[in-house]
Chain A
Amino acid sequence: MKIFVCVKHVPDSAATIVVKDKNQIDERITFLLNPYDEYAVTEAVKLKKLLDNQAEVIAVSLGTADAEKTLRSAMAMGADRGILITTEDRQDSIITARALKAAIEQDCNIEVKDDLYQYGDLSLIFTGRESIDMVGMQTMFRIGAYFNIPVINNVVKFTPFIEDGRLSKAEVESLAGEGRKNIYEISCPCVLGAGRGLNTPSYPTFPDVVKARKKDVKIVPLDDLIKNLIINSIKYLISDSKFDNPQKEQKNGAEIINLELFAEQRTPKRIDGEPLEAAKEIVRILKQKAKVI
Chain B
Amino acid sequence: MKFYLLIKSLIMIAAIFWAFRLFFIKVKRLYAIMMAVEGKVEFSPFDRLKERLKVLFTDVLGQSNVRRKTLPGLSHTLIFFGFIAIQLHSLELMIRGVFPSFDLLLFMPWIYSKYLFLADIFAFFVLIGFGYAVYRRTVIKPPYLTMGRDANLIILFTSVIIISFHFINAFQSFIPVVVAGEGSESVTSLIYQNIFPVSGILAYILAFKNWSLGWLIFGYEISYYIHICTILGFLVYIPGSKHLHLLAAAPNVFFKRLEVEKAVQKTDIENEDASSFGLGKVSEFNWCNVLNLYACTECGRCEELCPASNTGKPLSPKKIIHDFKADLFDQSDALLTMADLPEPSKNRDSILPIIREGSEITHDVIWSCTTCRSCEDVCPVSNEHLDFIFEIRKNRVLMEADFPPEMQETFTNLENQSNPWGFSSDARADWCRGMGVPLMMDKPDAKVLYFVGCAGSFDDRGKKISQATARILQKAGVDFAILGPEESCNGDMARRAGNEYLAQMLIQQNVEILNQYKPSMILTGCPHCYNIIKNEYPQFGAKFKVLHHTEYILELIKQGRLVSNGKDFGTITFHDSCYLGRWNNIYTAPRDILKEINGGSLLSLNQNLSKGNSQTAMIKSYSNQSDSRLIEMDRSFSKSMCCGAGGARMFMEETIGQRINNLRAKEAVNTGASMVCASCPFCITMLNDGIMETDRKIIVKDIAEIVDEGTV
The interface stretch among B131-139, B410-418, B642-650, B680-688 is B410-418
> Which has the most chain A C-beta neighbours within 10 Å: B269, B423, B426?
B426
A15-B425, A16-B426, A16-B427 known; A205+B416 contact, CB < 8 A: no
Q: Is B422 an interface residue (CB 8 A)?
A: yes
A15-B417, A30-B416 known; A205+B399 contact, CB < 8 A: yes
Distance between Cα atoms of A210 and B411 in the complex (Å): 17
State how many angstroms separate the Cβ of A8 from the closest Cβ of chain B: 16
Report yes or no: A14 in contact with B426, Cβ–Cβ below 8 A: no
B422-451 residues at the A interface, CB under 8 angstroms: 422-427
> Which has the most chain A C-beta neighbours within 10 Å: B272, B400, B416, B500?
B416
Report yes or no: B401 in contact with A12, Cβ–Cβ below 8 A: no
Count chain B residues whose beta carbon lies closer than 8 angstroms to a beta carbon of A. 24
The chain A residue with its CB closest to the CB of B430 is A16
A16-B427, A29-B426 known; A206+B269 contact, CB < 8 A: yes
Report yes or no: B422 in contact with A205, Cβ–Cβ below 8 A: no
Q: Is B665 an interface residue (CB 8 A)?
A: no
A14-B424, A16-B426 known; A206+B413 contact, CB < 8 A: no
Q: Is A23 an interface residue (CB 8 A)?
A: no
- B contact patch SS: helix
Cβ contacts A201-215/B at 8 Å (1 or 0 each)? 011111101100000
Contacts of A15 in B (CB 8 A): 416-417, 424-426
Q: Is B101 an interface residue (CB 8 A)?
A: no
Q: Is A186 an interface residue (CB 8 A)?
A: no
The chain B residue with its CB closest to the CB of A32 is B416
Q: Is B621 an interface residue (CB 8 A)?
A: no
- A contact patch SS: loop
Report yes or no: A209 in contact with B501, Cβ–Cβ below 8 A: yes
CB-contact partner of B501 in A14, A200, A206, under 8 A: A206
Contacts of A29 in B (CB 8 A): 426
Contacts of A204 in B (CB 8 A): 401
Distance between Cα atoms of A202 and B402 in the complex (Å): 10
Q: Is B224 an interface residue (CB 8 A)?
A: no
Report yes or no: A203 in contact with B411, Cβ–Cβ below 8 A: yes
Q: Is B124 an interface residue (CB 8 A)?
A: no
Q: Is B398 an interface residue (CB 8 A)?
A: yes
Contacts of B423 in A (CB 8 A): 14
Q: Is B277 an interface residue (CB 8 A)?
A: yes
Contacts of B422 in A (CB 8 A): 14
Cβ contacts B377-400/A at 8 Å (1 or 0 each)? 000000000000000000001111
Contacts of A32 in B (CB 8 A): 416
Contacts of A206 in B (CB 8 A): 269, 277, 397-399, 500-501
The chain B residue with its CB closest to the CB of A204 is B401
Report yes or no: B424 in contact with A16, Cβ–Cβ below 8 A: yes
User: Hey, which bits of chain A sit against chain B, CB under 8 A?
Assistant: 12, 14-16, 29-30, 32, 200, 202-207, 209-210
Q: A14-B416, A15-B426 are in contact. List 4 more A-B contacts (CB 8 A).
A: A12-B416, A12-B417, A205-B401, A210-B272
User: Hey, which bits of chain B sit against chain A, CB under 8 A?
Assistant: 269, 272, 277, 397-401, 403, 405, 408, 411-413, 416-417, 422-427, 500-501
Selected A-B contacts with CB under 8 Å, 16 pairs: A12-B417, A14-B422, A14-B423, A15-B424, A16-B426, A30-B416, A30-B417, A32-B416, A200-B405, A203-B403, A205-B398, A205-B400, A206-B277, A206-B500, A207-B398, A209-B501
